[in-house]
Amino acid sequence: MIKKVTTASAVRLKLALSLLVALNWSCTKDNDDPMPLPNGAGVLVINQGNFMDNNGTITYLPPDGSTPTYDIFNQINKRSLTGSLQDYTESDGKGLILVDNTTAGQDKVEIIDANTFQSLATLKSPEIENPRSAIRVSANKVYISCWDVSGNASTGTFFKDPGYIAVVDLTTNTVTRKIPAIKGVETLLLVGNEVFAGSAGDATQLTVIDAINDQLKTGIEIGPNPNPVAVDANGKLWVYSSGEMVRINAQTKAIENRLKIGTDPARSASRFRISADKQYFYFVNSYYDAADNYKEKGEVYRFAITDTSVPTTTPFIKRLFSGMAVEPNSGVIYGGITPSFKQAGYVYRYQATGTLIDSVKAEIAPTVFYFK
């Protein structure tokens, strides 16, 4: 999913940065005032953590990509997020952190002040169960896709049918409604006044929601596990479904084209991102190497929105990313590297041409990037 972008005061950023340097993040403060966070620019790295350890964190990177600030939620609120982090978004001065915990009934969404990262409220179970994706849809209103309570994978009933989309009112910091959705509801994408919702639960329809009235509309039959990716420079909606990129007319909902991704059935495409000019898609094409203890391996590839096929013979970037994003102004590509789920990961930055800029240490499993 392409992350949302917000803007704020560059002056406040400089002040906050100077304060952070002076304080030295590892030191204990002399008072209980919340530590100011840079909010004028920069990147929040959402580190998923190791799911069984419930140790997801958030790293802040300044615009130049250097001098990261680690585990900023814990620094400011004096407690950990206690879960695997799934997504992050901001709306009207507030941030929402989606937390998935291994213990039943412990899933939650932390609502924070986006400028200071100080906790304001917590949405808990049963309002929030297995949160997956979040998106701002209008003033003070955010949608959060939730699988609901998961079941037993061995019996084929892991995903509750239906899942739901929680409607969050940020004026009251409450869930005001649950919109029924396809099982395994996953990625959310806002296009005009409609939200398209994907699935990880083997559903074949793309859910369509009227974001003004919070009402379900007629879905689009696409194929197994359809998930919206982005709208291109021509206003076309692209959806990934089981080895294919599907181009859709966002107004008529008609399918215009299907592009098969590569020819190797052992490989799986994921983490699709669109370029800053909306002319290209980047994606990870990976596989599990049986000869190397089933370690995941792969590379990044690219194709144009005008291409008629998507070959996977020549990598664009010869690295496997656990997360990827494109800065919407500069076009710089951010890639998360996860050596293992028991050690710190890294963030690599590349020019739009694929040339490496630099790299910096993050935390465990850098997966989602949010550009402030």
**What does the DSSP assignment read for 331-358?**
--EEEEE-S-TTS--EEEEE-TTS-EEE
Answer whether 53's CB lies under 8 Å from 348's CB: no
Answer whether 250's CB lies under 8 Å from 191's CB: yes
Q: Is the pLDDT of residue 3 over 70?
A: no
Answer whether 227's CB lies under 8 Å from 195's CB: no
User: How far is residue 104 CA from its own chain's centroid?
Assistant: 23
Mean pLDDT for 160-174 is: 96
pLDDT of residue 157: 78
- Both tokens assigned to 234: 């021509």
Alpha helices in the chain (DSSP H): 10-23, 72-77
pLDDT, tens digit (0-9, with 9 covering 90-100), for 300-333: 999 999 999 998 999 999 999 999 999 999 999 9
Q: What structural domains does the chain harbor?
A: 82-224 (2.130.10.10)
Measured in Å, how far apart are the chain's first and last C-alpha atoms? 16
- Both tokens assigned to 59: 């790293």
pLDDT of residue 40: 62
Answer whether 63's CB lies under 8 Å from 42's CB: yes
Mean pLDDT for 238-253 is: 97
User: Mean pLDDT lowest for which of 19-23, 231-235, 338-342, 365-369?
Assistant: 19-23
CA dist 299 and 196 (Å) reads 28
Q: Could you count the other beta carbons within 10 Å of the beta carbon of residue 216?
A: 16
Q: Is the pLDDT of residue 296 over 50?
A: yes
pLDDT of residue 14: 36
Sign for the pseudo-dihedral over CA of 130, 170, 368, 280 = positive
Report field, pTM of the whole predicted structure over 0.85: yes
Q: Could you count the other beta carbons within 10 Å of the beta carbon of residue 307?
A: 13
Q: Is the pLDDT of residue 26 over 80?
A: no
Question: Quick one: CA torsion of 274, 275, 281, 285, rounded to 10 degrees?
Answer: -90
Q: Could you count the other beta carbons within 10 Å of the beta carbon of residue 133?
A: 23
Residues shown for the chain: 372
Question: Quick one: CA torsion of 77, 83, 89, 94, rounded to 10 degrees?
Answer: -30
Tell me if the bond preceding 366 is cis, omega within 30° of 0.
Answer: no
